[in-house]
Every structure is written in structure tokens, then in C-alpha cells.
Amino acid sequence: MTDTRAVKDALRRQQIETPSWAYGNSGTRFKVFAQRGVPRTPQEKIDDAAQVHRFTGVAPSVAVHIPWDRVDDYAALAAHAKERGVRIGAVNTNVFQDDDYMLGSVTNPDPAVRRKALDHLLEAVDIMDQTGSRDLKLWFSDGTNYPGQDDIRARQDRMAEALAAVYERLGDDQRFLLEYKLFEPAFYMTDLPDWGASYAHCVKLGPKAQVVVDTGHHAPGTNIEFIVAFLLREGKLGGFDFNSRFYADDDLMVGAADPFQLFRIMYEVVRGGGYDAATGVAFMLDQCHNIEPKIQGQIRSVMNVQEATAKALLVDAGALRAAQEAGDVLEANAVFMDAYNTDVRPLLAELREEMGLHPDPVAAYKASGYYERVVAERKDGHAAGWGA
Amino acid sequence: MTDTRAVKDALRRQQIETPSWAYGNSGTRFKVFAQRGVPRTPQEKIDDAAQVHRFTGVAPSVAVHIPWDRVDDYAALAAHAKERGVRIGAVNTNVFQDDDYMLGSVTNPDPAVRRKALDHLLEAVDIMDQTGSRDLKLWFSDGTNYPGQDDIRARQDRMAEALAAVYERLGDDQRFLLEYKLFEPAFYMTDLPDWGASYAHCVKLGPKAQVVVDTGHHAPGTNIEFIVAFLLREGKLGGFDFNSRFYADDDLMVGAADPFQLFRIMYEVVRGGGYDAATGVAFMLDQCHNIEPKIQGQIRSVMNVQEATAKALLVDAGALRAAQEAGDVLEANAVFMDAYNTDVRPLLAELREEMGLHPDPVAAYKASGYYERVVAERKDGHAAGWGA
Amino acid sequence: MTDTRAVKDALRRQQIETPSWAYGNSGTRFKVFAQRGVPRTPQEKIDDAAQVHRFTGVAPSVAVHIPWDRVDDYAALAAHAKERGVRIGAVNTNVFQDDDYMLGSVTNPDPAVRRKALDHLLEAVDIMDQTGSRDLKLWFSDGTNYPGQDDIRARQDRMAEALAAVYERLGDDQRFLLEYKLFEPAFYMTDLPDWGASYAHCVKLGPKAQVVVDTGHHAPGTNIEFIVAFLLREGKLGGFDFNSRFYADDDLMVGAADPFQLFRIMYEVVRGGGYDAATGVAFMLDQCHNIEPKIQGQIRSVMNVQEATAKALLVDAGALRAAQEAGDVLEANAVFMDAYNTDVRPLLAELREEMGLHPDPVAAYKASGYYERVVAERKDGHAAGWGA
Amino acid sequence: MTDTRAVKDALRRQQIETPSWAYGNSGTRFKVFAQRGVPRTPQEKIDDAAQVHRFTGVAPSVAVHIPWDRVDDYAALAAHAKERGVRIGAVNTNVFQDDDYMLGSVTNPDPAVRRKALDHLLEAVDIMDQTGSRDLKLWFSDGTNYPGQDDIRARQDRMAEALAAVYERLGDDQRFLLEYKLFEPAFYMTDLPDWGASYAHCVKLGPKAQVVVDTGHHAPGTNIEFIVAFLLREGKLGGFDFNSRFYADDDLMVGAADPFQLFRIMYEVVRGGGYDAATGVAFMLDQCHNIEPKIQGQIRSVMNVQEATAKALLVDAGALRAAQEAGDVLEANAVFMDAYNTDVRPLLAELREEMGLHPDPVAAYKASGYYERVVAERKDGHAAGWGA
């Protein structure tokens, strides 16, 4: 038996961070389709993110991406966010969109390029100091396309060196979240291809180095919830980049491809104590709305995470433990599935009303006229996109 | 025992088509790295392709891509090619790089978009009439990103309708090659995801509809040589788009990721009679040199196909058949591997010299000064890239 | 808006066939764990299957497997089934468990082995004549483990020859369902690896040759519902072997690994008219309860299929079509997900009560004492297992 | 430029361990095909292994498997091996073939089963004391088939406890090699699914805990050579279980499925210093000859590893480093491929003659009459198989 009130309280506390780049245009290597009303500045991206929080109540922060969100005055940007009812969250670095990085950034065979990349990472910590952000997110596209192209081990040495330098620079209340990814854009070898590699580097550096799990970055068949459970046990789960995929790093809306997997992940988070604020697990979205409207896509994604969380919280822990200890495979599975099969939408609607929100965030957003307004306002100027 | 002379004769006849777009800049969704000396016009792409033929002797044709290679006068373009010692090969269509195609081209729910896409396909046949090309290559990025987004079956109806219209328009000596691809850019459902789907459509239409196998377009674990053998047996293998991959549609140089697989594919081609000119199997490259020099990358790729073909031709067919019929698993495998393990580079060097070529095409190309010349000549103007 | 009454009527008509072998012991190559109360004879397997029907009301037939269910008198076996309230369904053939079949059955290089295998297949049709079964299920483990081991094309010729001989033998009201599988037990090349291969053979033979989709037999990333939609459009979907998998052919309980996928499959069945009795789509389970109790596992599996079907029937077809035609990606997906997110268990409980059944089949089965009874009764003798 | 003499010296020192179970019958869950002349006792398995060493000269040790190779007197077994010219190598444990282990061994929810499993592991160390073996190989089939079945984290606690107890028991010159595997026989969650999990446990325990890489135990697309390079850098690569696969854990002959991958792995071993005896990297075969003759299959496998090693040793390290440092992608790849494309069979034939061996081990074995002799001698009695 689970206590609905406790479930609601937990859901009320949930904080899901949306990424500034999700509001701009994005696409595949084949085509970036332009959408109307897309923001043209970092400020407008924050405005859009604030809408997601306005209608869901659980998306109070926005991740920024440097240099895509570079401004002269980050304190002013933070103030702009505050004015809109949100705050600036993780600072994401970008060492993959400069011609110099063709053969890598911090693992590049050329020391000058490595230096340039490291300087960018350190600059990002400077920005964190101004925005008050706790988390630095590190994703490296570094890797090679052809066997023999570069030395795998030497690249690890260079990676270790760069990470140590960044770690050294972090303030007492700052940390970095180290991402890993199987492939893309590197197609033979990626320097941090899996959780094991990120974990090994983080363990050596210390508590301010944590692993971040992007749910789209694994080999087919990978049991992601195992990784979540394992990292939580080790005290090394820094957070999530949520999205979903059928094939590769598809960056679809979280929960769209395999809602049962999302539930299993959230169950392990809850089970492992990762839902408690104290553990510092950050719940972030990182996805691309290539063909669907962006703000609405983010709202839907936030709701998908909420629903999976609600189901995870509804698992009858006592009954589950009893069945597991008895070795009753079907009963344990049945208890688990019972929570998953529950329709939690009424409970969430109720919660929203208790929070003073419309029970249906998508309908409320559509009715708000925000989209029509920004389409009109933003029709001139350069729409932001991945890389701008 | 195989006859080296016969092997050489077969290799001398080989024709590998290079694609115009391989000479321009390309990349991933994260970044297109600019290279120096990249062509600015369709004519310059042909000039580059001619270099590949000049040094390898087996790349006499260039595939074009409409609209990337759109010109006012295709007969003049064909004449330009002829002057450079090559000819225009397959015409590739592009119904994926216009904002109208966001939800599909020939399978789009909007009939106006479908009409536009079909008109483009028919225009490509007009161009074939002018260039004298035999093959129309059809690749559709059509598909959906989300379950429920569109009706899978209705999209098949639309696909069938468009293919029938194109088929109808083909001249007596023309045919289309229908490509399939598991995913990307569509991330939930692709309208032609596998050889079975392309095959089923082609069988209904008739002999001028053939399946083309892009070696990077399959699910993990797919046995591509089985598909090759199967389609040859059915008389439905139109050709190849060669490239290689470790993960998804990586579009690396053919033979770079799994040279043994390329050998097995070429063996099935030879075994199934697909190497005979009469069967009309087209051997085309379709790859992206994101980080390596493009002309040199194409030369290397052509050589990789040659080497795999040479090994396939060296398989001792009699010994293999005897071992297979005797059920001698290890002996049959040993006969097969014996050919693969042979170093065929001396034989190919010899062949090149007999053909009046330098034995080492890469070295000869490097020594030619062509690269330095085009870097200087092409430094102004807009470099061609995927989409230009 | 969907009509609950119509949904219930459709669910009442549902027929899910359970396989006799699911009631016996099964396992992996590492170990077959023995369970208590496992049947020792074909009759006892039918007794167990009858329990599944007794408590679910929608599992009225049992597939048999020859030679595992070989008896002297098949008419008597059919009578035994009838007496227990069920009937004999598809006849499954087994040409993989004899030492002669080490290098293949109908595609074996040795003509004597091929003849033996074909004779077995024809014998199975004789049995169908006696049991009154409509469907012959053909699964071939045929394939090779090593490149070069045997000739891919020659094996297709042999496959085609055998299938033609079986087809010829079928009575007017009989048909065969041709299965495909990517790999296992063959580890390099399987003679029927994918739906395309089965489809191509079936198309040539005629309407009595149909493709059967085993949901565990695909490459990672395969969109199974696409195949279902495609085959239904072609009139070539003969049925399903349901089970689920996280990795390979895991043969877990259907709906256990990816319930959303099962819903999508059932949606395409409904959408394509495959749920109508007239189309002859057979819904069969084919799974292994390696570690969970077998009868209870089958009951749970039947319920999982029911739930997915109920959700598929609840999709608001009008709203979905409207959103699809409008190109409203998020709305179309939302309509689709709305049905999936519905908790259909109350509706199914209601339906069961209307059918005179207990609303909770698992609880009713557990309370029945059947398990305890067979554990006592069957403690002597040889427990049936895969292969016995 | 590489020095052929140095290459030969290195190859002469190579030691590849064959596993006793490879000489017995094995198969898939569908069928174990019986072969003639298969050993009936641990002694006969060693006799067969001695043949592999006799003809290759580089397979001087045999791994044993407890309880499959349980004998009363292990010192006598070691003496038997010595008499045959080989020695006993790693001791492999088996905690997966007892009905008690249905829900796991050391991670079983039942403490009594865990105790039993641990006792077996400790017994294996006792055996090592008697055989003089250095390495204890630990592979756990532990895992779950269904979400919710057991608690992922609690199972990690139990795993850690068992590993610590075994570690504690190891003598000064002993170590354990901890294996990992993505799936099979567990089909939802495996307790040690990837190198990261094994690595994390080993790091905590200390230098006598090392990771072993079974080349068939990864998710599709995993870059195994990256793992090898990474673990060598960390001083945590204990050794290899070599085999090859196209799909899952196919356990085919090493080098049969992707010889280029094997070369890349051996290159990283050489590059990372893992080929030096001092690093203690163990090169073991672990494969199943389901359809091919077993001794001959082992000989072929040993030769495949030799050939890959020879090619890896032939890589021109200076030229490679120069190209890598210059960022010359194609030249670096060309240097690497040049070694791979070399036909090393003549060099190995020469080496064998220098070692007093026949240049063609397979031919020599066939000519020896050993097979015919054991077929005759062993025709009565119970053939050994996986599990016996």
C-alpha cells in the first residue's frame, strides 16, 4: 500500500530542468526544418522555458549552452530568468563546433587545440560563478572515425589531464557532470563511450566529479536502470539528460519511445534514494524537437517524466520486497507492473490543481495565446538553432 | 585453383561509380567541418571525380544529385564530364531538403506536398534523358518520429502510388533503384525500412524497378551478403551504395570498418553472377569524408572495393563446392578464408601497371599536385556541401 | 470517442492459442531448471492448457509440436482436448533435434537429410488431417555458423523446393505459416532470417502460404509493427508467435519487456483489419517459462495480450485520423498515447464477470488448487521438456 | 619499419590457453549435436588439449572447469597434464548448473544458496592450491528475467560480499579474473553486465582482482579494443576469453566473424604493453564447436589468434605515431591497414619450422591419425559435454 499524499508531496517537489537549445531549431544532418516563433536570443529562450514552468510548475530552471547562449552580462541574464520566474541551471560546454576541433578538443593530438578547448571549459566555470550555477556539464564529441587514426591510450591521458584541470578550478559548491556517449559524431572510437569510462575518471578525481546519464547514449540492449542503480550505490550519479530513442541518439521526447523503460529508470532513482534533494541528482531534459512544436514538446516531456515518477512512487515497496525475498518471480513482477499499469493522470491533474495550475498543461498553454504572440513578434531576425 | 589472368581480366572490367556529393563538405548534425580546395560547382565536382578515375582506372562515372548538381544545360554537363574522361552516372533525387518535406515527401499526408515531390522525381527522369543516364536512384527520408504521428498503411498506399507514377515515366533503357534504410532522419518508422519493403514494391512494378543496397542502412547484426545473394537469385539487385559503418549510417569509407564483410558481399556478387555486366548491378560509392581529404578518400575507397573484389575472385570455387558438399565445415571455411587472407595488393599493383597506371594510386595522386592546385584556385567562392 | 460495448464485444471474441511446449520444462544452453508438477505426456500438457482457458476464457486452443507431442492416435488426442474444453490448434514441426540435422534440414547439402526432413513436414500435414488443424507452422533452424560453410544461394533453391512440396500437399482448408528468425541456433547465416525472405517465398507459392511474425526474432531496432502493417496490406500476415525480449530470442512472457511495443503491434493489427476472424490472423504464444511457473506464466501472458488489445481498440480512430491529416504531430501522438495510458484492467475485469469468469484469473487459478494437485500427481515419471 | 626477427621472437613466446570444455560436446538450447571421439574424462580432455599444443607450439596450458573436471586427485591430474606436455591453467567455477541457482548464485535472495555458491568458489581456490594455478575465473550467470523480480541494488551488495570473501581467500600468487556479460542466461538484468561493473568491483578489492574480457559478451556496437586499452591503462586487464560472434554470445571460433576486430584488439594489447609476460594478461580461448570438429577447431582458433598477433606486431609504430601526431587521418589509417592487409601466413610457417613444428598445423594434425584413434578408443562410455 502506498500513501497517495506522500506520492503527491514527492511529485510537488520534483524539479525538471529544460535546456535552452530545445527552444531553437534543430534537425538531422539531412535537414534542419525551420519552425515559426523560434527564439532569436538567449533571453527569448528563457522566456520560452518560463512558459514550460508556468504550466507545469516543476520546471524552474533552464540549462544554458556556451557559446550558444553567450551574453556580455550573465548576471543580467540570471536576473532576466528570475524575472520570468525561473533560474539558470547547468552550464553546458561546447567544444565541438569550431573547425579546430575536427580531430578532437581536449584529446586532440595538437596541444594548441587542447589548450583552446580547456580554456573554454574554464571560461564556463567563470560563467557559473556569475550565474550561480552548481553544475558544469561536460560532453565531449572527441573520438576517431578510423582505426589507427589516433592513439586510444594517449587520448585517455589527454582526457585525464583536462578533467583534472577543470576539477581543480571548481568552486566548493560546484561540480561537473561527465557525460558519455557510444558514438556520434565519432564513428569508430569515442573517448568516453560508456558509463564505465566516465565513472573511472570521476572516481579518481573526487566527489565533485559525477557521471551524467543521457538516456539516448547507449548501445542497443543496454539496461540503463542497472547503470542508474549502480551509480547511485557508488554515490556517483550526478544526473540525467532525458530523451528517448528507438535507434541511436534520436533525441525524441522522453517517454515517447519506451515509457516502461522510463518508469524502470525512475523506479531505480527512487529505490536508490536519488529522488532526495540531498543526493544532488539533476533531472534535465536534452532533446531535439525536429518536427514538433518546441514549447509544447517540452511541456509534454515534463509531463512524461512526471507520470513515470508518479508510477515509480506508487510501487508498493513492502509487497515488492516480500515477493522478491520469497523468490516469487511472477508476484514480484506483478507488483511492479501494477504500479506501471496505473493511470496516474488523474492524480497528477489533482496535484496541479492543488498547486494552482490548470490540470491540463498542454491545453492551458495552447489557450494562452503565447505561441501566436511569439510567432508574430519574432518573425524578423535570425531564429536560434543548434549552433546559434 | 584460380586463374590469375582471369582474375585480372575481371578486375580490369570493374566500374565503380563515385558520387558528386562526396567531393563537397559534409558532416554530422553537430558540425560540418570545412575543408580546403572543395569544389564550388557541379563541374568542379566532376573534375575531382575525374582524378579518381585518372589514378585508379576503374571509376569512369559520377553520380549526380538533383538539386545539388542542378545546371541549366545537362548536355553541357555531360560533355564536360566526357572531356574530363568520365561520364555522368546515376541521377539521385532529393526530396528531403525543403521545409515542405518536414512530414514526408511522397508519403506526406498533404497531397500538395506529395505532388511537389513527385514532380521532382519526374524532373529527374527528364534530366536522365539529357545526361543519358540509365539509373534513377530513389531514396526517401520519409517516415515518422512518433508512434501515432501518421498512418503506416496509408503511407504505403501513397508510396505505391508515387512509385507507380515514376515507373510509368521511365524510358525503355531506364530503371529506378529503390533504396531502403532502417532509420535516420526518421526515428520511429521509416516508410521503406528494409530490403523486404523495397523488394515488395519493386516486384509489383516490374523489371525496371530494382533494389539498391546501401551497406550502411541495416539494423545491427543484419547479414548483408544474404540479402545480396537473395536479391540476385530473384533478379532484383540493382546495385550498391557502398560505405562502411561501425554503428549506424556512419558513411565511412567502404571497407574501413569491416573489410571481411565487404569481401563476403563481393563474394556473393561474384557467386550470384552479379559481377557480369549483363546483370546490371551498379557499384556505387555513397559516403561522407567528414574529416579526411575527399579525393584521396574516394581513391582509397575505390581501392578497398578492388581489393575485396580481387579476394572474392580468388576463392577456389571448386574446392569450396567440394568441401560444402562434403559437409566439411572447417575445410569450407578454410578455403573461403584462404582467399580473404591473401594479400592482393601486389596483384593489383601489377594490374595497374598493365593498365598504364601508377601502381600506387594514392601516391600518384599526392605527387600530381592536383590538391595544391585546387586549394589555390578554389579559395574564393562558396564551397559545395551537402545541400549545395 | 470509442464505444466501450464494441470494445468489449471485440475482446470477447479474442482467441489466443497457447503452445503445448510452454507447459514443459525449458531453459537456456546453460541449464534447464526442473519445475514441479510439469506434465509428462501430451495429454497432461493439454490439461494444463485447458486451465489457462478455464480462467481467461480466451485461450481455447493448444498448438502441438511434433515429435514432442507424438501420439499413436491423434483423433483421440483431439477428443481429449475437446473433453477438457479446448481444441488442438496449429501443428508445429521440428526438424532441428536430430543429429542428422546438424548442417540443416530442408537446406542440408545432403539430399538424404533433406528427404527425411521433408517427409517429417508431410507427416505433419497427415496429422493435421487427423486433428482438424488449419495451420502448419514451419520454423527452420537451418543456416550456417561460418562464412563459406555452405552456399547461400543453393540453400535457397533447396528451401524453395521443400516449401513447394509442402504447399502442394496442403488441403483446401489448410495453410502453412512460415516463420523467420535472425539467428540462433545458426550464428552466421540463417536461411530465412527476416520477413522479406519468408514473404518472397510465400508470394511465389500462393494464398495458402503465409508469414508468421515471432516477436522475438528480429534484429535490434526493428520496427515490428511496420512489418505487421505491411504484411496485412499485402494479405500475407498469417499470425503471431508472441513473446518478449530485451536482447535476443529471450522468449519471455509477451508484454513483459516492452508493453508499449505490444500495444503498437496490436494497434496495427486492429488498424489493418487483422483482428477480424475472416483475415485468419492467428494469435499464438510461443515462449519459455524458464524460471517462473508455467501455467501461471501463460495466464499472465494471455492477460498481457488482452490488455494491449483493449488499449488498441480504445484508440480514438476519428481523432487520430484528424490529427494525422492535419499534420499535428503532438496531437496525433497524444491521441495514441491516451489509449495506451488508460488503465484497462477494470474494463477487462468487468468483461470477465460478464463472461462468467473470475475477474482476476491469476488469483482464481491459484485458489483452484490445480497446481498443488498436479505437483502431487505428477511427481513420478519423466517430466516433459523442450525435446520431450 | 618493423623487425621481422623481433616479431618472430614475440610470437614464439605467445601462450594461448585452451579450455577443457571445448573438447566436449556443446550446442544451443535447441540441440547438442553429438560428435564422435569426444573425450569422456578430464584426462581425455587434457589429452586432446595436448594435441593442440603439439601442433601449434603455443598452447601449453588447459583451463579446467569445476565441477565438469572434478577429480579426486588434482595433483595427479596436474601430473597427467605434465606428462602430456601441457599444464593446468585457470580454474573456472560453475555456479549456474544446479537447480538451486535458478534465481542466482552469489546474488540469490536466499542466503543458503549464496552460502552454497560461495563455498564452491572457495573450493575452487583449494583446487588451485593443488594444481598450482594462478588464475580463478569467475563468471556469474546471476541476473533476473523480469523487471521487479529482484532488487538490483541488493544484488550488488550480495555480489560485493561474495567477491570480498573470495578475494580474502586468495594466496599471494593467486588472483581472480572477473568476467562480465551483457545477457544470457539472464534476460532482463545481469548482475555484472559490462566492464564498468566488473572494473568497479575489482578496483575496490585490490590488485588480485582483475577484469577478464570475453569477446562475445558485449552489446552490439561496443568497441572492445577501447575497453582493452582502457583497462590496460588502469592496470586492470586480467585476460581474455577469446571467441567470436556475429550476433550474441555465439561462441564461434575466434577470428571467424570479424578478423579485423581481433587484429585491432591485439594491436591495443601490444600497444598497451599487455603482451609482455610481466603484465599477466592471460590469453584464453572460450568457445563452443557445435558443428565443427573440436580439436581441429581449437587448432584453427589458436592460428587465428597467432595471425592477428603477428599483424599487430607488424604495425609500424613510428610511422603510425608520426601520422597520428600530424593529424593525417588517411595516412595513419593506411599504416594501420598495411599491417592488417599483410599475409602473415608465410612468416608463421617459417616460425613453426624454426620451432621444429610442421608449417601447417591442421594438415599435420589430420595426418597424425589422432582423430581416427580416439574415435575408435572412445566409442563406448559417456561423451563429455557442457555440464559433464
For residue D385, tell me if it sits in a domain.
no
For residue A384, tell me if it sits in a domain.
no
Please, are residues C222 and B189 in contact by the beta-carbon 8 Å criterion? no
Closest residue in D to C188 (Cα–Cα): D246
Closest residue in C to D254 (Cα–Cα): C146
Residue D1 has pLDDT above 60, yes or no: no
Distance separating alpha carbons of residues B241 and B218, to the nearest angstrom? 12
**Residue B206 class from Cβ within 10 Å (0-12 exposed, 13-18 middle, 19+ buried)?**
exposed
Provide the 8-state DSSP code for D222.
Answer: -
Distance separating alpha carbons of residues A282 and A304, to the nearest angstrom? 16
* Residue-level pLDDT at B1: 52
Distance separating alpha carbons of residues B232 and A250, to the nearest angstrom? 34
Q: How many domains does one find in chain A?
A: 1
How many beta carbons lie within 10 A of that of residue A350, not counting itself? 13
Q: CA angle B125-B127-B131, nearest 5°?
A: 115
How many beta carbons lie within 10 A of that of residue A66, not counting itself? 19
- The chains in contact with chain A, meaning 3 or more Cβ pairs closer than 8 Å, are B, C, D
Distance separating alpha carbons of residues D68 and D93, to the nearest angstrom? 9
Picking from B259, B291, B330, the nearest residue to D297 by CB comes out as B330
Q: Is D327 on the interface with A (CB under 8 A)?
A: yes
Average pLDDT value over all residues in chain C? 96
Interface test with A, best of D103, D158, D230 (most A CBs within 10 A): D230
CA distance D108 to chain C (A): 13
The model's pLDDT over D221-240, given as tens digits with 9 standing for 90+, comes to 999 999 999 999 999 999 99
Q: Is A222 on the interface with B (CB under 8 A)?
A: no
Distance separating alpha carbons of residues D14 and D309, to the nearest angstrom? 9
Q: Work out the percent of chain A whose per-residue pLDDT is above 90.
A: 95
* Residue-level pLDDT at B192: 98
Please, are residues A14 and A57 in contact by the beta-carbon 8 Å criterion? no
Q: Strands A143-144 and A189-190, how do they pair? A: antiparallel
CA distance C339 to chain A (A): 11
Please, are residues C41 and C384 in contact by the beta-carbon 8 Å criterion? yes
Pairwise CB contact (< 8 Å): C145 & D292:
yes
Closest residue in C to D29 (Cα–Cα): C29
For C10, phi and psi rounded to 5 degrees? -65, -40
Position A52 confidence tier, pLDDT thresholds 50, 70, 90:
very high
Residues of B in contact with C315 (CB under 8 A): 148
* Residue-level pLDDT at A388: 54
For residue B32, tell me if it sits in a domain.
yes
Q: Is C23 on the interface with B (CB under 8 A)?
A: no
CA distance C388 to chain B (A): 28
Residues of B in contact with D223 (CB under 8 A): 246
Q: Please, which residues have CB within 8 angstroms of residue B108's CB and are 6 or more apart in sequence?
A: B100, B101, B114, B117, B142, B158
CA distance D356 to chain C (A): 31
For residue A387, tell me if it sits in a domain.
no
Nearest alpha-carbon partner for D53 in D22, D84, D92 = D84
Q: Is B369 on the interface with C (CB under 8 A)?
A: no
Please, are residues D295 and D39 in contact by the beta-carbon 8 Å criterion? no
Q: What is the mean pLDDT of residues B133-137?
A: 97
For B272, phi and psi rounded to 5 degrees? -90, 5
- Helices H / strands E in chain A, number of each: 14, 10
* Residue-level pLDDT at D388: 54
Amino acid making up residue D261: Q
Pairwise CB contact (< 8 Å): C329 & A221:
no
Residues of D in contact with B343 (CB under 8 A): 341-343
Lowest mean pLDDT among A65-69, A324-328, A336-340, B364-368: A65-69
Pairwise CB contact (< 8 Å): D335 & A152:
no
Residues of D in contact with A196 (CB under 8 A): 194-197, 199-200, 227, 230
- Taking CA atoms, B305 is separated from B63, B74, B298, in Å, by 17, 30, 11
- Taking CA atoms, B82 is separated from B46, B49, B75, C262, C281, in Å, by 10, 12, 10, 56, 57
Distance separating alpha carbons of residues B192 and D23, to the nearest angstrom? 46
Q: Work out the percent of chain A whose per-residue pLDDT is above 70.
A: 99
Q: Is B285 on the interface with C (CB under 8 A)?
A: no
Position C375 confidence tier, pLDDT thresholds 50, 70, 90:
very high
CA distance C240 to chain B (A): 18
* Residue-level pLDDT at C68: 93
Q: Which three three-digit cell numbers place residue C103?
A: 548442417
Picking from C246, C300, C340, the nearest residue to A221 by CB comes out as C246
Picking from D150, D157, D221, the nearest residue to A220 by CB comes out as D221
Please, are residues D214 and D288 in contact by the beta-carbon 8 Å criterion? no
Residue D186 has pLDDT above 60, yes or no: yes
Q: Is D148 on the interface with C (CB under 8 A)?
A: no
Pairwise CB contact (< 8 Å): C145 & D386:
no
How far is the first Cα of chain B from the last one, in angstroms, to the nearest whole number? 50
Interface test with D, best of B291, B329, B365 (most D CBs within 10 A): B329
Nearest alpha-carbon partner for B383 in B34, B9, B145 = B34
Position B174 confidence tier, pLDDT thresholds 50, 70, 90:
very high
* Residue-level pLDDT at A88: 97
Q: Which three three-digit cell numbers place residue B6?
A: 582471369
Residues of B in contact with C325 (CB under 8 A): 109
Residues of A in contact with B103 (CB under 8 A): 291
For residue B307, tell me if it sits in a domain.
yes
Distance separating alpha carbons of residues A375 and B30, to the nearest angstrom? 27
Residues of A in contact with B38 (CB under 8 A): none
How many beta carbons lie within 10 A of that of residue A372, not counting itself? 12
Q: CA angle D30-D36-D39, nearest 5°?
A: 95
The model's pLDDT over B242-280, given as tens digits with 9 standing for 90+, comes to 999 999 999 999 999 999 999 999 999 999 999 987 789
Nearest alpha-carbon partner for B183 in D258, A216, D261, C267 = A216
Distance separating alpha carbons of residues B284 and B52, to the nearest angstrom? 13
* Residue-level pLDDT at C388: 54
Pairwise CB contact (< 8 Å): D342 & B343:
yes
Residues of B in contact with C151 (CB under 8 A): 271, 321, 324
Closest residue in D to B258 (Cα–Cα): D260
| CATH number of the domain within which A329 lies | 3.20.20.150
Q: Is C181 on the interface with B (CB under 8 A)?
A: no
Q: Is D258 on the interface with B (CB under 8 A)?
A: yes
The alpha carbon dihedral of C291, C294, C297, C298 has a sign of positive
Distance separating alpha carbons of residues A283 and A14, to the nearest angstrom? 9
Average pLDDT value over all residues in chain D? 96
* Residue-level pLDDT at D385: 82
Instruction: Sort residue A327 into left (φ over 0), alpha (ψ -120 to 50) or beta.
Output: left
| Residues belonging to chain C | 388
Q: Is A361 on the interface with C (CB under 8 A)?
A: no
Residues of A in contact with D271 (CB under 8 A): 151-153
Residues of A in contact with D151 (CB under 8 A): 271, 321, 324
Q: Is C15 on the interface with B (CB under 8 A)?
A: no
The model's pLDDT over B348-370, given as tens digits with 9 standing for 90+, comes to 999 999 999 999 999 999 999 99
For residue D386, tell me if it sits in a domain.
no
Pairwise CB contact (< 8 Å): C343 & A345:
no
Query: Domain range holding A56?
Result: 4-378
Closest residue in A to B31 (Cα–Cα): A97
According to DSSP H, which parts of chain D are helical? 4-13, 42-56, 74-83, 111-131, 152-169, 195-205, 224-234, 259-271, 294-314, 317-325, 329-341, 345-354, 361-367, 370-377
Average pLDDT value over all residues in chain B? 96
For residue D362, tell me if it sits in a domain.
yes
Q: Is A246 on the interface with B (CB under 8 A)?
A: yes
Distance separating alpha carbons of residues B288 and B252, to the nearest angstrom? 6
As for the ipTM of the complex, it is 0.97
CA distance B344 to chain A (A): 21
Residue B282 has pLDDT above 90, yes or no: yes
* Residue-level pLDDT at B135: 98
Residues of B in contact with D362 (CB under 8 A): 330, 334
Number of B to C CB contacts under 8 A, please give it: 169
Distance separating alpha carbons of residues A328 and A325, to the nearest angstrom? 8
Beta bridge partners of residue C17, listed in sequence order: C284
**Residue B6 class from Cβ within 10 Å (0-12 exposed, 13-18 middle, 19+ buried)?**
exposed
Residues of C in contact with D253 (CB under 8 A): 146
Q: Is B195 on the interface with C (CB under 8 A)?
A: yes
Residue C300 has pLDDT above 90, yes or no: yes
3 state DSSP class of D17: strand
According to DSSP H, which parts of C189-343 are helical? 195-205, 224-234, 259-271, 294-314, 317-325, 329-341
Amino acid making up residue C172: D
Distance separating alpha carbons of residues B44 and D38, to the nearest angstrom? 66
Pairwise CB contact (< 8 Å): A333 & C297:
no
Position D204 confidence tier, pLDDT thresholds 50, 70, 90:
very high
Q: Work out the percent of chain B whose per-residue pLDDT is above 70.
A: 99
Provide the 8-state DSSP code for B69.
Answer: T
Distance separating alpha carbons of residues C141 and A176, to the nearest angstrom? 51
Q: Is B289 on the interface with A (CB under 8 A)?
A: no
* Residue-level pLDDT at C277: 73
For residue D221, tell me if it sits in a domain.
yes
Residues of D in contact with A103 (CB under 8 A): 327, 329
